[in-house]
Structure 1
Amino acid sequence: MMLRTHRSRTIRTGLHAVLLCLALPLVTPTSAMAQGATVAQPTKAMKDEAATRFKKGLELFKEADYVAALVEFRRAYELVPSWQVLYNIGQVQYQLQDYANSLQSLERYLAEGGRQVPATRRSEVENDLQTLKGRIAFVEITVNVPDAEIVVDDTLVGTSPLGKALTVNAGRRRVGVSREGYQPQTRVVEVASGDTAKASFELLERGAATPATPAPGADSEGDGDASSGRARATAQVDGNSSSRVPWIGWGITGGLAAGAAVFGVLALGASSDLQDLRGTRGVSAADLSAASSKATTMSVVTDALAGAALIAGGVSLYFTLRTPPSDSAGNARASSPGLQLGISPRGAQLVGSF
């Protein structure tokens, strides 16, 4: 807790100094400018915006909103690339426990500031660098194809091939590799402070078959065995599909039979009512005609449903007897004679032995 209070006080002092520098007509040269490289000078509007963003970064830092403060400081550095800004960026990254990027920012601060960095500030930063070096690790990433984008913890760090190992925060790091036309890959790499972990990626072109990993205890005999395995799977699916046909037929048969039974009961009731009306005096001819029509309708529907149930039952029986047995049941039934259904003009015959 005391460390955070000390750093909050230190960073406010540094930011105040940087803000004064940004108000000057010309900013302090960075290392690129010191080497004679041509760098466009920021306009007055850019300086004003950078100063505004620094003030906002200060406010956010005081409120412990370090993520938003870092965004404002980085934006100010883009507008006016002064080396003093790197100190503030590095300190905020330190607070965010982004030790790898904090190390990079503070090293750049000392290198680009050179002799302009006050002795007390240089001593402080050098102590911070020693602490940071004990909290970082390295990851060597290799990819089988060039120009693949490499992402660490959702941040783009470069493209393959990388010239050297990446400096990362110690711990568990999420590494992803992708390239257009290839299947992306992601894995988690765990690396302790000071250690170097290696991560190798073999990207496959889109549409290429992914090598199957056999289950523990499964036989692995090459492509031929894999092909036969796919064939067995297909055959099993087809067999299952065929075996469903008799069950559907028997379901329809049961429904028709149940309907025939219901309408049969209704037909008997209508016939009984008709007989009662015929034995009753004073019944009009219209009532007798209606009762007779109802009884006849019920009888016709019952006969139709019964006939349909009989036909559906015959078809279901035919497919049941014609459906080949499954592999598991086939061996058990191999010694049992089959049944045959014969259809002739005189009727149907079931031939076989049990």
Structure 2
Amino acid sequence: MSRPTIAGVARAAGVSVASVSRVLNGLPATEEMVERVQRAVDELGYVPDARARSLKVGRTFQLTLAVADVGNPVYVTMMRAVEEVVSAAGYRLVVTTTGPDVVDEVALVRGMARGYADGLLISPIRVDEDLVKSIRECEVPVVVAGNVPAKAGVDTVRANSPKGMLLAVDHLVAKGRRRIAFLNGPADTVPGAARSKGFAEALKAHELQPAAVAEATDFTFAAGRAAAPDLLAAGGLAGSRSHRRRGGDEPAPTTIRPTGGAFDAVICANDLLAVGVMHELAAAGLEVPADVAVVGMDDSELAEQSFPPLTSVNLGSAERGRRAAELLLARIEDNDRTPRRIVVQPSLSIRRSTP
């Protein structure tokens, strides 16, 4: 059985091929015309040839979303939001992983010149001059879900991590927790730097000093578990068992900075780190939140699935995804428009890991 063609749709609808093309490409047409064409399309089971359409209009109708780790729940939430927006506009979404190395981020941006997508939405975990330059010179529209310097001349949507950290500290202090530790991911990353700064500013606002600060090697569950024993030891809560916990592949914390006093709460830079810490608190015989309250960041699905359910700062990953996708579609339609820099405000989702 031969595949239905646009000419067959035109005959069935009693209109010209040009009229069918106008309707299928979303160009202005009368309501009657749209109804006749759509009825014929449905009856014949016609599916537009994406390759022919791409050649005709000079577009692939494909967009790329690039994130550091597709396994991180926060990126899954963002991806779903982006896909919802772009699919409604007739685009397919291709998701790719850059990993933690800025060199790979740069290579991906420069590779957009191959023409396999009409635009790029990237969430870079590290930013340097090469990345900024590659974004500025990219041959397709780029939107950044994250923070890059204004000189990049690109649309950005970012979270207000410092305000989110203040919400977490305010909550803990209101519940009587004043000896607060912090487990960050790598501080040389965009989220690591923002959350470190936010933690310091939030404690200062309450005239507090950190009970202990640790920097894990990554924003993963395994890195959180690996950093936790030494964090507990630094905070005077348990002897370090790190030499027994870490296997050959398990990452070790890069920095432990004790500042005095056992802590009664810990804020983690994301939910994966927080759940890793809660595992180690349980292994050390400590109860959450009776002994130590735990707060994560991102408010991912993992926060609700953990035990106990995790209090977490919602940094608006879905909203950031939606806004970034809308900016990318607008940029594709008008590449000369003035770049926008949007900041999505956080909220706090309180669960049983805090009092």
The structure with higher relative contact order (CA 8 Å, sep 6+) is 2
The answer, yes or no, to whether TM exceeds 0.5 is no
Higher helix share: 1
Which structure: larger Rg? 1
What TM-score results when the alignment is normalised by the length of structure 2?
Answer: 0.18
What TM-score results when the alignment is normalised by the length of structure 1?
Answer: 0.18
